[in-house]
């Protein structure tokens, strides 16, 4: 079971991600950032719980939903705001397009393919590089239930199994691929696929971020010890639409109500207090400090310089 310091770190990081996202939505409302953002509310337990099991030198291939895994990996809040503002403070210095193209190699964040599911193959390559170089680096790749049904997953998983790659696939199963339900598009359980590729599969409830951490830590240990890949299916929820402004006409009222009872941030907060890790006063002060830090990062990112036509021929290699 996670220790007190780890539980507090998980909660702080999840709350930071939530505060960051709320600040970004304000920037979108002000017309300063593009509205094509895919909110991550509900995914924090999966993303933070798993990512905090990694070292700084390990590799992360994130997905399009939310930023909590990237925040957990250590990328600065100011840089992330800069990416969405499209300016020089961003990790891509204004050359990216927000969440799809955040890249922070210093913290092991390798970016994401412009095609959902494409990162699975990049992750396999990163894991193979670690094996060839004989390091103990682990690669973790996040994607959703929709991308789990792409052929790229089969190719990457087959390579991971055949070559015993230090690779962890994290499938965030929130029940929806945009507006298509998992039941409509998937036969069987995702976690059971691991057996076909010859590596370990584990299922965990993403509403319990501390349990996710425990599962991810076991997977990381196996990978570092040369025992190969792991597939982790995390049952998550989506507390918002697929994108900012999605009316969610395809979801029933009962489905949305049920999701609201499984908010990993609310549940983690309650558990910290129940376990005696923190009291209400301490948690409230922690949250206040986090919000202040996020607001400062957003304000500091706004003056960044936008790219000009003078940069059109920079960073072109072919």
Q: Write down the pLDDT at residue 36.
A: 82
What does residue 253 show for φ and ψ, rounded to 5 degrees? -65, -35
Q: Please tell me the distance from the alpha carbon of residue 255 to that of residue 242, in angstroms, as a whole number.
A: 14
* Cβ pair 84, 27 in contact under 8 A: yes
Report the pLDDT value the prediction gives residue 96, as an integer from 0 to 100. 74
Q: Residue 314 has what pLDDT? A: 79
pLDDT at 100: 66
Whose CA is closest to 102, among 126, 75, 125?
75
User: Residue 98: its pLDDT value, please?
Assistant: 63
Order of strands, sheet of 230-235, starting from the edge strand that comes earlier in the sequence: 109-111, 59-61, 139-144, 167-173, 230-235, 200-205
Residue 169's nearest CA partner among 215, 208, 134 is 215
pLDDT 10s per residue in the chain (318 long)? 789 999 999 999 999 999 999 999 999 999 999 888 889 999 999 999 999 999 999 999 999 899 999 999 999 999 999 999 999 999 988 887 666 689 999 999 998 888 888 999 999 999 999 999 999 999 999 999 999 999 999 999 999 999 999 999 999 998 877 777 787 878 889 999 999 999 999 999 999 999 999 999 999 999 999 999 999 999 999 888 787 777 888 888 888 888 889 999 999 999 999 999 999 999 999 999 999 999 999 999 999 998 888 877 877 887
pLDDT tens for 268-310 read 999 999 999 999 999 999 999 999 999 999 999 999 998 888 8
Three-state secondary-structure class, residue 190: helix
- Cα distances from 170 to residues 212, 312, 313, in angstroms, run 10, 36, 37
Which two tokens mark 26? 């304000």
CA distance 132 to 127: 9
Hey, what are 304's tokens? 């960044």
Bridge partners, residue 232, by sequence:
170, 202
The answer to whether the CB of 59 falls within 8 A of the CB of 108 is yes
Q: Which of 49, 75, 30 is nearest to 268 (CA)?
A: 49
Distance CA 85, CA 263 (A): 28
Yes or no: say if 277 and 270 are a contact pair by the CB < 8 Å rule. no
Q: Give 23-90 as a DSSP string.
A: HHHHHHHTTSS-S-----TT-HHHHHHHHTTS-TTSEEE--SS-SHHHHHHT--HHHHHHHHHTSTTS
Write the DSSP string, 115-178.
Answer: STTTHHHHHHHHHHHHHHHT----EEEEEETTGGGSHHHHHHHHHHHHTT-SEEEEEEE-SEET
What is the H or E stretch that residue 231 is in? strand 230-235
Pairwise CA distance, residues 16 & 70, whole Å: 11
In the chain, the domains with their CATH numbers are: 4-304 (3.40.50.970)
Q: Which of 83, 142, 77, 154 is nearest to 113 (CA)?
A: 142
pLDDT of residue 43: 96
CA distances from 234 to 108, 116, 139 (A): 22, 18, 17
């Amino acid at each position: 079971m996670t220790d007190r310091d780890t539980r507090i770190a998980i909660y702080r990081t999840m709350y930071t991600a939530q505060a960051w996202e709320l600040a970004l939505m304000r920037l979108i409302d002000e017309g300063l950032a593009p509205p094509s953002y895919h909110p991550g509310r509900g995914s924090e337990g999966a993303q933070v719980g798993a990512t905090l099991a990694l070292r700084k030198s390990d590799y992360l291939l994130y997905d399009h939903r939310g930023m909590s895994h990237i925040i957990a990996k250590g990328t600065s809040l100011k840089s992330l705001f800069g990416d969405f503002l499209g300016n020089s403070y961003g990790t891509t210095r204004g050359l990216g397009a927000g969440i799809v193209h955040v890249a922070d190699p210093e913290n092991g964040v390798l970016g994401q393919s412009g095609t959902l599911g494409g990162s699975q193959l990049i992750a396999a390559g990163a894991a193979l590089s670690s094996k060839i170089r004989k390091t103990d680096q682990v690669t973790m790749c996040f994607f959703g239930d929709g991308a789990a049904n792409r052929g790229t997953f089969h190719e990457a998983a087959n390579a991971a199994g055949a070559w015993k790659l230090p690779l962890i696939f994290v499938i965030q199963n929130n029940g929806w691929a945009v507006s298509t339900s998992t039941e409509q598009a998937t036969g069987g359980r995702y976690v059971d696929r691991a057996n076909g590729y010859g590596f370990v599969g584990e299922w965990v409830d993403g509403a319990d971020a501390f349990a996710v951490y425990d599962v991810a830590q076991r997977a990381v240990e196996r990978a570092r010890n040369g025992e190969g890949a792991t597939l982790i299916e995390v049952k998550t929820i989506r507390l918002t639409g697929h994108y900012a402004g999605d009316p969610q006409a395809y979801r029933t009222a009962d489905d949305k109500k049920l999701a609201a009872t499984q908010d990993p941030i609310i549940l983690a907060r309650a558990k910290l207090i129940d376990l005696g890790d923190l009291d209400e006063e301490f948690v409230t002060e922690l949250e206040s400090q986090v919000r202040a830090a996020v607001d400062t990062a957003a304000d500091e990112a706004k003056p960044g310089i936008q790219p000009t036509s003078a940069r059109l021929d920079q960073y072109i290699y072919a």
